[in-house]
């Protein structure tokens, strides 16, 4: 198989949805705002954090690849798989970070309030120790999402216990609210993490805007955000900028 043909297959697999459908840009945006929706998608997030290090003279760039898939397992339940693989460049170190895989079990019946329980596994895939969050780890995860018309809010909490003594024992809390109008979304997000070993808290708050457009057989969600770290260790960045690109296959209305 020639290289262009292989690349075409990879892209097709990345954006193809199985059984989850919407007709308009607004429908797609509302479903993309819900981390527990049955809409399969592939996202690439790029973040640039500034003023890192004790002297505030270090920058960190992170490209995170994040496929999300929903798989029915019975008439009443489905599993949502959320993967995050970061590629990091700090100037002094670059390469893969730790891969996170979260599996949620959630009811298939749609309602204004959705809930899910599951687990998060941290894989020790970091290229160098400086890019690792602490090696292998695993723990429970919970999620609660509320949808009111086109607006979506939610909380996700996870605990990752280290499989090796003395590293990477963290709590993580994600909270968000997204207001969606005519294919344009405005979001406010919190992504807090507490390491019980180092007793360090990292708490960035971000505000972002996104737009869904249709390109042939694809819906494309393009977003930008700015964030500020309200609680941060001395070697982390106090502010950052980011962009998001999400691809999802065209589908019928709901």
Which tokens sit at 251?
Answer: 């589908």
In this prediction, residues 97-103 reach a mean pLDDT of: 96
In this prediction, residue 63 carries a pLDDT of: 97
Q: What's the pTM value of the predicted model, to 2 decimals?
A: 0.83
| Position with higher pLDDT, 231 vs 113 | 113
Q: To the nearest whole number, what is the mean pLDDT of the chain?
A: 85
> What confidence tens digit (pLDDT) does each residue in 18-39 have?
444 446 899 899 999 999 999 9
The size of the chain, in residues, is 254
Name the pLDDT band for 57 (thresholds 50, 70, 90).
low
Which tokens sit at 97?
Answer: 């970070």
| E strand or H helix that includes residue 41 | strand 41-52
| Position with higher pLDDT, 225 vs 21 | 225
Which of 4-13, 151-160, 240-249 shows the lowest per-residue confidence on average (mean pLDDT)? 4-13
pLDDT above 60 for 225: yes
The pairing of strands 151-162 and 41-52 is unpaired
Count CB-CB contacts under 10 A for residue 245: 14
Q: What is the CATH number of domain 3-249?
A: 2.40.160.40
pLDDT above 90 for 60: no
Question: What residue segments make up the domains of the chain, in order of their start?
Answer: 3-249
Q: What is the DSSP letter of 223?
A: E
Which of 30-34, 162-166, 233-237 holds the top average pLDDT? Answer: 30-34
CA distance 225 to 246: 14
Which tokens sit at 1?
Answer: 């198989």
Q: Which of 38, 85, 15 is nearest to 30 (CA)?
A: 38
User: Could you write out the three-class secondary structure of 18-80?
Assistant: CCCCCCCHHHHHHHHHCCCCCCCEEEEEEEEEEEECCCCCEEEEEEEEEEEEEEECCCCEEEE
| Position with higher pLDDT, 4 vs 81 | 81
Residue linked to tokens 């502010």: 239
Contact of 68 with 44, CB cutoff 8 Å: no
pLDDT above 70 for 55: no
Contact of 96 with 85, CB cutoff 8 Å: yes
Count CB-CB contacts under 10 A for residue 111: 9
In this prediction, residue 196 carries a pLDDT of: 86
CA distance 170 to 192: 10
What are 75's strand-pairing partners?
A: none
């Amino acid at each position: 198989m020639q290289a262009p043909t292989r690349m075409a297959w990879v892209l097709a697999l990345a954006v193809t949805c199985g059984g989850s459908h919407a007709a308009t840009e607004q429908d797609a945006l509302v479903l993309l705002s819900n981390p527990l929706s049955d809409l399969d998608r592939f996202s690439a997030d790029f973040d640039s954090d500034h003023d890192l290090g004790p002297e505030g003279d270090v920058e960190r760039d992170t490209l995170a690849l994040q496929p999300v898939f929903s798989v029915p397992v019975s008439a009443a339940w489905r599993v949502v798989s959320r993967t995050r693989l970061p590629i990091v460049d700090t100037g002094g170190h670059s390469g893969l970070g730790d891969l996170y895989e979260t599996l949620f079990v959630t009811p298939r019946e749609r309602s204004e309030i959705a809930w899910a329980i599951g687990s998060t596994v941290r894989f020790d895939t970091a290229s160098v120790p400086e890019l690792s969050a602490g090696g292998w780890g695993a723990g429970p995860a919970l999620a609660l999402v509320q949808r009111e018309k086109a607006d979506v809010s939610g909380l996700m909490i996870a605990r990752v216990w280290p499989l090796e003594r003395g590293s990477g024992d963290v709590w993580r809390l994600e909270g968000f609210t997204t207001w969606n109008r005519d294919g344009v979304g405005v979001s406010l997000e919190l992504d807090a993490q507490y390491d019980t070993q180092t007793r360090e808290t990292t708490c960035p708050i971000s505000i972002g805007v996104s737009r869904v457009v249709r390109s042939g057989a694809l819906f494309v969600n393009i977003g930008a955000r700015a964030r500020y770290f309200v609680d941060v260790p001395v070697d982390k960045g106090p502010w950052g900028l980011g962009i998001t690109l999400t691809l999802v296959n065209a589908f019928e209305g709901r």
